[in-house]
Chains A and B, each alone.
Chain A
């Protein structure tokens, strides 16, 4: 508003009416709208394509059979169980370590060179391509830096009724794959832990201190309970990224053709019927859904395209389950936490 023109109603007068009012603004809004619809369009094309190719092939027998040389008989059973095991192992490996690191950085090491060093490393790790994690997993878990000089050992541990044989080095086992995916999601787990802790209202922390609680008691009774739903949501989302990873698993040695579910567990009932199988599973050979998809797509037979599409639908369904779980937890958290 110019001080030289104190006319009444000045705010309503357009001082320099442009020839085509709002043209730039409208163009910009249009471009933005096209961008938004483009994203949705690509997703729809992808989904429709996969659905059209895989629809007739997705059946209960597809879910409950192993791979086969005959496309009509091929199934995802080994890959489905392999992926679930990988995610489970990756989670139990990455979550305690990631949460510990996040709590350390957010609560204990508040500044100093150590924190700076860890933070720089974390942001670098988060940007490392996944195949590099595969190479890391190969060196660390599969070969253990060649420490056993080609003479693998077997560590035998006897439980009450079960007998556990741990191969050293781990070799091309489910455990190597799970730990590799665990490394992959570790930086993300650390980041979500820190963000969830930072989101806890400062008033809660102060009130706890003011009542004579120690730092540990404040973390244990106030900060962690308030942060856990956020951490769980973040972990599920990072796990749903890991479940689609193919490259690191191929490097670590996932089998492309496998007629065996890890530990012989083919259904949830088997876990109860043969608990020993659940203990053996981590040291079994493995494959995973994305590895199967990759393999089927590379086959010359046209029918395998349809098998691959059906497997993609299974993978998308699994991802959807994870995402729904994450949003349910988030919704419950928001309902519960009204500070």
Chain B
């Protein structure tokens, strides 16, 4: 397993010759969690997590089921707010501003920090209206500018050529992979600068998964991406940094090649080599 992953890492490093040698030094943090703890009622799901996420890079969150990685992801755009009886302590800084401070506009935050879910969730509307939903709820008017924005978003999600002739069709008629890329396009249409992805490819076939992974690779030129994944190869393929969670604790975070070849913690090594999880 470890050998297989090393091969992926090496292949990718060859393909991407300009990979910065030290991501930490070159990139300022876009998002920073400081001593973040999270509670579902009396149950604590995250313990004192401190993690910084560099700009224009892909950070993968890995760990066994129930380790808190999805919960952590959802604290970054305050999606956990809509679950009753939850509580947060600590800080999440988006470009230095604490998003849990009183007076923060959660709606504006979610436009800057977009999210793509595990199960593709197109609205029961047309392809066009799906992508237009975000701009429309932010008060976007003017049909020409909107049409341009939608084309741009669909192009960035690599879906334009497949759907340009069926923008008026129901989004539910698209294939599973297309639906997921539509959800990515929809998230891009609000012009976020951070994109959170919760196992975006886990319900897709291998070909669609490859397309989504390629897309993630392209998107990181312009966006800061945090991705939760169960698939170790996927984390190795797409991410620059990997954070390993277990039992609500952040065990280790480092450059992806290092996590998969020379992890600092025994637990991490056991997990990435498939000895548990």
Q: Measuring CB to CB, which residues of chain A are less than 8 angstroms from any residue of chain B? A: 110-111, 201, 203-214, 217, 221-222, 225-226, 336-339
Interface string of B179-209 (1 = CB under 8 A from A): 0000100110010000000000000000000
Report yes or no: A206 in contact with B137, Cβ–Cβ below 8 A: no
Contact status of A210 and B79, CB under 8 A, knowing A110-B84, A204-B121: yes
Chain B residues, CB < 8 A from A339: 121, 124, 172
Asked if A210 and B133 make an inter-chain contact with CB atoms under 8 angstroms apart, the answer reads: no
A207 touches B124 (CB 8 A): no
Excluding A209-B79, A225-B124, A339-B124, 10 further A-B contacts by CB distance (< 8 Å) are: A207-B117, A207-B121, A207-B186, A208-B137, A210-B114, A211-B134, A211-B187, A211-B190, A221-B133, A221-B137
Contact of A209 among B110, B119, B186, B187 (CB under 8 A): B110
A217 to chain B, nearest CB (A): 5
The one of A201, A206, A225, A336 in contact with B82, judged by C-beta atoms closer than 8 angstroms, is A206
**21 A-B Cβ contacts within 8 A?**
A110-B84, A203-B121, A204-B123, A205-B82, A207-B117, A207-B121, A207-B123, A207-B183, A208-B133, A208-B137, A210-B110, A211-B114, A212-B108, A212-B138, A212-B190, A213-B137, A221-B137, A222-B123, A337-B124, A338-B172, A339-B172
B220 within 8 Å of A (CB atoms): no
Q: How far is the CA of A137 from the CA of B166 in the complex (A)?
A: 55
CA distance A201 to B77 in the complex (A): 21
- Which chain B residue shows the least CB distance to A226? B124
Report B2-24 residues with CB < 8 Å from chain A CB. none
| CB 8 Å contact bits of B112-123 with A (1 = contact, 0 = none) | 001101010101
Majority-rule SS of A interface residues:
helix
State the CA gap A110–B84 with chains docked (Å).
9
A221 to B82, CA, bound (A): 18
Cα distance, A337 to B123, chains bound together (Å)? 10
Indicate if the CB atoms of A214 and B137 lie closer than 8 Å: yes
The 4 A-B pairs with the shortest beta carbon distances in the complex, nearest first, are A212-B111, A211-B134, A210-B115, A203-B121
The 8 Å CB contact of B107, one of A214, A225, A226, A337, is A214
Q: CB-CB contacts of B30-71 with A at 8 A, as 1s and 0s? A: 000000000000000000000000000000000000000000
Chain A residues with Cβ under 8 A from B183's Cβ?
Answer: 207
Binding site for A on B (CB under 8 A): 77, 79, 82, 84, 107-108, 110-111, 114-115, 117, 119, 121, 123-124, 133-134, 137-138, 172, 183, 186-187, 190
A206 touching B114 by the CB < 8 A rule?
Answer: no
From A211, A336, A337, A338, give the contact of B133 (CB < 8 A): A211
Cβ distance B261 to chain A, nearest Cβ, rounded Å: 35
Chain B residue nearest to A210 (CB atoms) is B115
In contact, A217 and B79 (Cβ under 8 angstroms): no
Closest to A217 in B: B137
What CA separation (Å) do A19 and B172 show in the bound complex?
Answer: 58
Q: Are B124 and A336 in touch, CB under 8 angstroms?
A: yes
Contacting B77 at CB < 8 Å: which of A111, A210, A222? A210
Question: Known interface pairs A203-B121, A221-B133, A226-B124. Does A212 touch B107 (Cβ–Cβ under 8 Å)?
Answer: yes
Nearest chain B residue, comparing its CB with the CB of A225:
B124
Inter-subunit contact A206/B190 (CB<8 Å): no
Shortest Cβ distance from A109 into chain B, in angstroms?
12
> What's the minimum C-beta distance from B207 to chain A, rounded to whole angstroms?
23
Nearest-CB distance from B41 to chain A (Å)?
13
Complex Cα–Cα for A222 and B119 (A) = 17
Query: In the assembled complex, which residues on chain B have CB atoms less than 8 Å from the CB atom of A208?
Result: 123, 133, 137
If A207-B121, A336-B124, A339-B121 touch, whether A213 touches B107 (CB-CB below 8 Å) is: yes
Q: Shortest Cβ distance from B94 into chain A, in angstroms?
A: 14
B138: chain A residues at CB < 8 Å are 212
Interface pair A212/B110, CB less than 8 Å apart: yes
Contact A211 B79 (CB under 8 A): no
In the assembled complex, the Cα of A213 lies from the Cα of B190 at a distance in Å of 11
The winner among B79, B107, B110, B137 for most chain A CB atoms within 10 A is B137
Min CB gap A290→B, angstroms? 40
Whether A212 pairs with B134 at a CB distance below 8 angstroms is yes
Task: Provide the residues of chain A in CB contact with B186, threshold 8 Å.
Answer: 207, 211
Most chain B beta carbons < 10 A, residue from A213, A214, A338: A213
Question: A207 to B108, alpha carbons, bound, how many Å?
Answer: 15
Residues of B within 8 A of A221 (CB): 133, 137
Nearest-neighbor residue (CB-CB) of B138 within chain A: A212
Shortest CB-to-CB span from B183 to chain A, Å, is 7
Q: Are B117 and A203 closer than 8 Å at their CB atoms?
A: yes
Closest chain-B Cβ to A65's Cβ sits at a distance in Å of 48
Residues of A within 8 A of B79 (CB): 206, 209-210
Contacts of B84 in A (CB 8 A): 110-111
B121 touches A213 (CB 8 A): no
Among candidates B108, B117, B124, residue contacting A206 with C-beta atoms closer than 8 Å? B117
| Given A212-B110, A212-B190: A203 touches B119 (CB 8 Å cut-off) | yes
In whole angstroms, how far apart are the Cα atoms of A222 and B133 in the complex? 10
B169 to chain A minimum Cβ distance, whole angstroms, is 14
Which of the listed residues B82, B84, B121 has the most CB atoms from chain A within 10 Å of its own CB?
Answer: B121
Nearest-Cβ distance from residue A329 to partner chain B, whole angstroms: 16
Q: Which B residues touch A337, using CB under 8 A?
A: 124
Residues of A within 8 A of B111 (CB): 211-212
Instruction: Please name all residues of chain A whose beta carbon is closer than 8 Å to the beta carbon of B117 when the two chains form the complex.
Output: 203, 206-207, 210
A223 to B107, CA, bound (A): 18
Could you say which residues of chain A place their CB within 8 Å of the CB of B110? 209-212
B187 & A210 in contact (Cβ 8 Å cutoff):
yes
List the B residue with the shortest CB-CB distance to A201: B121
Collect the chain B residues with CB atoms within 8 Å of residue A214's CB. 107, 137
Task: Kindly list chain A residues whose C-beta atoms are within 8 Å of the C-beta of B172.
Answer: 338-339
